[in-house]
């Protein structure tokens, strides 16, 4: 006969088994929850590490960008130096060597070589277009001379902002036929060096500075012309007019292009182009017509000086006799032409 205690234990075994199974299931659930919690912790840690790495990388990129912006500003200051009055040098190395130029373009129909496209400073790479634009601008100067000086011989002519001779080259015939003396000055040293290498000795070319000073004697020049120079002069335009007046002979001509309402409307018309947006003020891009008397924007390498025509005429007449303020003179130009004379007395 089964002992009562054994019978009692036999009755308890199924509950004990169920309790044991429940405990084992609870332990398994606990372990699963702990494993899941660890997975979540590991995932959050990985995400936090990735976010931290991304933030660090973004901070490094931003730091690099700030450094590059700073270096760009420094390079601009110490390459163009508009605030310190120097020219644009060939380099800042301790030892300077002659610059490298691509071979000049030699054409059988041209007495003088053309600079390679890399040395045309933004003017057309196409040879025919480069020559045509230079000749059209030279014609503006010739016509002003014919209207106001007649047909004099032995003129002393200065190209103010001559670059690599885009316009100056077109007065070679006048030099040969009438003895015109041809001078060029530019704040950029590189094109002046190119001219020294490739143009004849009778072209007197000089590297200048952004400060109002020219290496010429008082009353020594008959004509000074410049294309897209006063479009870059932000604040010293009046001092430059006085300096140009100083070296002009009494009765001598000053022919310079400027930006007026015509140029404003031209740039506004092309306001969606990258080359316009990079270089011009938002005010000009937003307003189709010029509402202010003048606007100066940007740095020396940007076409940033705009005048209302009547304001330019009034201001320039303080220093010189304004003979004409002409609208753009050919299809390739959007700049007005100011023609002035140094008073005879």
Residue 96 lies in a domain: no
Q: Does residue 13 belong to any structural domain of this protein?
A: yes
pLDDT at 138: 98
Q: Number of structural domains, the chain? A: 2
Q: What's the pLDDT score for residue 186? A: 95
* pLDDT mean over 10-14: 66
Indicate whether 76 and 220 sit together in one domain. Answer: no
pLDDT band at 85 (very low <50, low <70, confident <90, very high): low
Tell whether 134 and 197 lie within a shared domain. yes
Q: How far is CA 297 from CA 17, 190, 231, 278, in A?
A: 90, 25, 10, 12
Q: Higher confidence at residue 328 or residue 53?
A: 328
Percentage of the chain surpassing pLDDT 70?
Answer: 87
- Average pLDDT for 51-62: 86
Which has the minimum average pLDDT: 74-88, 168-182, 185-199?
74-88
Q: Is the pLDDT of residue 79 over 60?
A: no
Mean pLDDT of the 149-171 span = 94
Greatest mean pLDDT among 8-12, 14-18, 303-307: 303-307
Cβ atoms of residues 157 and 222 within 8 Å = yes
* pTM of the model as a whole: 0.76
Same domain for 133 and 76: no
User: Are residue 193 and residue 297 in the same domain, yes or no?
Assistant: yes
**What is the domain range of residue 46?**
1-80
Return the closest-CA partner of residue 308 out of 325, 324, 321, 323.
325
- What is residue 245's predicted lDDT score, i.e. its pLDDT? 98
With contact defined as beta carbons under 8 Å apart, do 200 and 266 qualify?
A: no
Same-domain pairing of 146 and 254: yes
pLDDT at 61: 87
Q: Is 85 left (phi over 0), alpha (psi -120 to 50) or beta?
A: left
Do 65 and 204 lie in a common domain?
A: no
* Same-domain pairing of 152 and 73: no
Instruction: Provide the pairing of β-strand 336-341 with 248-258.
Output: antiparallel
Q: Which of 19-33, 72-86, 198-212, 213-227 has the lowest mean pLDDT?
A: 72-86
Is 90 exceeded by the pLDDT of residue 5?
Answer: no
Q: Which residue, 294, 327, 310, is CA-closest to 283? A: 294
Q: Tell whether the model's pLDDT for residue 3 goes beyond 80.
A: no
Average pLDDT over residues 171-194: 95
Yes or no: say if 296 and 304 are a contact pair by the CB < 8 Å rule. Answer: yes
**CATH code of 207's domain:** 3.40.50.150
Average pLDDT over residues 175-181: 96
Phi/psi for 342 (5° steps) reads -80, 125
Among candidate residues 51, 80, 109, the one where a domain is terminated: 80
What tokens does 197 get? 């290498």
75 and 145 fall within a common domain: no
Which range among 24-33, 83-92, 104-113, 125-134 shows the weakest confidence by mean pLDDT? 83-92
CB atoms within 10 A of CB 107: 13
- Structural domain includes residue 291: yes
User: For 229-282, what is each residue's pLDDT tens digit?
Assistant: 999 888 889 999 999 999 999 999 999 999 999 999 999 999 999 888 888 888
pLDDT at 319: 97
Which of 80, 111, 136 finishes a domain?
80
Say yes or no: 321 and 189 in one domain. yes
pLDDT at 70: 76
pLDDT at 60: 87
If asked whether residues 74 and 130 sit together in one domain, one would say no
Assess if residue 186 is contained within a domain: yes
């Amino acid at each position: 006969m089964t002992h009562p205690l054994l019978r009692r234990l036999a009755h308890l075994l199924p509950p004990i088994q169920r309790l044991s199974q429940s405990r084992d299931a609870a332990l398994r659930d606990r372990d699963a929850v702990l494993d899941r919690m660890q997975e979540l912790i590991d995932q959050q840690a990985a995400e936090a590490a990735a976010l931290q790495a991304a933030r660090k990388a973004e901070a490094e990129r931003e730091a690099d960008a700030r450094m590059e912006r700073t270096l760009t500003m420094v390079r601009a200051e110490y390459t163009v130096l508009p605030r310190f009055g120097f020219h644009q040098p060939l380099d800042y190395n301790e030892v300077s060597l002659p610059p490298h130029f691509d071979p000049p373009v030699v054409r059988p129909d041209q007495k003088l070589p053309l600079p390679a496209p890399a040395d045309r400073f933004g003017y057309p790479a196409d040879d025919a277009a480069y020559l045509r634009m230079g000749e059209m601008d030279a014609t503006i100067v010739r016509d002003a001379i014919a209207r106001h000086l007649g047909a004099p011989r032995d003129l002393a002519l200065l190209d103010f902002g001559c670059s690599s001779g885009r316009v100056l080259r077109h007065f070679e015939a006048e030099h040969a036929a009438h003895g015109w003396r041809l001078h060029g000055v530019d704040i950029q040293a590189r094109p002046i060096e190119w001219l020294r290498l490739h143009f004849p000795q009778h072209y007197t070319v000089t590297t200048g500075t952004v400060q109002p000073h020219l290496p010429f004697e008082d009353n020594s020049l008959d004509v000074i012309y410049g294309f897209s120079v006063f479009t870059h002069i932000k604040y010293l335009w009046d001092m430059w007019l006085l300096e140009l007046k100083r070296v002009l002979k009494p009765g001598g001509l000053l022919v310079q292009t400027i930006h007026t309402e015509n140029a404003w409307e031209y740039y506004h018309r092309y306001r969606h182009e990258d080359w316009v947006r990079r270089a011009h003020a938002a005010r000009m891009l937003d307003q189709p017509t010029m509402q202010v008397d003048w606007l100066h924007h940007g740095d020396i390498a940007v076409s940033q000086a705009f005048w209302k025509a009547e304001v330019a005429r009034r201001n320039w007449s303080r220093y010189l006799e304004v003979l004409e303020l002409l609208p753009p003179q050919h299809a390739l130009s959007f700049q007005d032409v100011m023609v002035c004379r140094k008073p005879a007395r």
